[in-house]
């Protein structure tokens, strides 16, 4: 059987871009595979399940039964309040120890990127990996210069109440 398809033509520019991307990916995989897997594990903060939280005026009520990931010390979860990207409010909740939940605006004060909770180090880190914040929201390492906005939290039975 004969194949009558025309040969694939790639411009020099496309070839260089594809070759460069391939080399970069191979290099990153060779030298950073374990670092990438650690990064992925710590960056895998889930969004709270639909129906697990509700807004009541200036409070957000989170069902700790429905958002069961927060049952584990060291866990974190993300909330999105609002319906469009321009007006949504993003919150990250972390369970830093058995009886302490902390909530912050989920945006780095330097570049607006989301945050990750590193439980072993007791810090929040910007997605870019350059800014770090303590569990009070204070800047530990910049380029961020402004503290995170913390929200007051308290537990009432099986619910976490966040004052926003």
pLDDT band at 82 (very low <50, low <70, confident <90, very high): confident
Distance, CA of 122 to CA of 140 (rounded, Å):
11
Buried b (16+ CB within 10 A) or exposed e, 115-152: bbbbbeeebbbbeeeebbbebebebeeeebeeebeebe
pLDDT digits (tens, 9 = 90+) for 89-147: 999 999 999 999 999 999 999 999 999 999 999 999 999 889 999 999 999 999 999 99
Question: How many residues are recorded in the chain?
Answer: 164
**What percentage of residues in the chain have a pLDDT greater than 70?**
71
Query: Can you give the residue ranges of every domain in the chain?
Result: 9-42, 53-163
Residue 1 scores a pLDDT above 50: no
Q: What is the largest CA-CA distance in the chain?
A: 74
Buried b (16+ CB within 10 A) or exposed e, 38-50: eeeebeebeebee
CATH topology of domain 53-163: Rieske Iron-sulfur Protein (2.102.10)
C-alpha closest to that of 104 among 78, 132, 81: 78
pLDDT band at 56 (very low <50, low <70, confident <90, very high): very high
Distance, CA of 48 to CA of 71 (rounded, Å):
13
């Amino acid at each position: 059987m004969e194949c009558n398809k025309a040969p694939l033509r790639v411009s020099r520019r496309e070839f260089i871009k594809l070759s460069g991307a391939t080399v970069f990916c191979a290099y990153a995989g060779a030298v950073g595979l374990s670092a990438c897997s650690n990064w992925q594990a710590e960056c895998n903060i889930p969004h709270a399940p639909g129906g697990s939280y509700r807004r009541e005026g200036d409070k957000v009520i989170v069902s700790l039964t429905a958002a069961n990931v927060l049952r584990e010390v060291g866990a974190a979860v993300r909330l999105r309040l609002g319906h469009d990207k321009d007006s949504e409010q993003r919150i990250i909740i972390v369970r830093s120890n058995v009886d302490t939940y902390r909530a912050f605006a989920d945006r780095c004060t330097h570049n607006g990127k989301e945050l990750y909770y590193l439980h072993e180090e007791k810090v929040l880190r910007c997605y870019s990996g350059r800014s770090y914040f303590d569990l009070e929201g204070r800047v530990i390492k910049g380029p961020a210069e402004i503290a995170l906005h913390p929200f007051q939290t308290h537990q009432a039975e099986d619910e976490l109440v966040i004052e926003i």
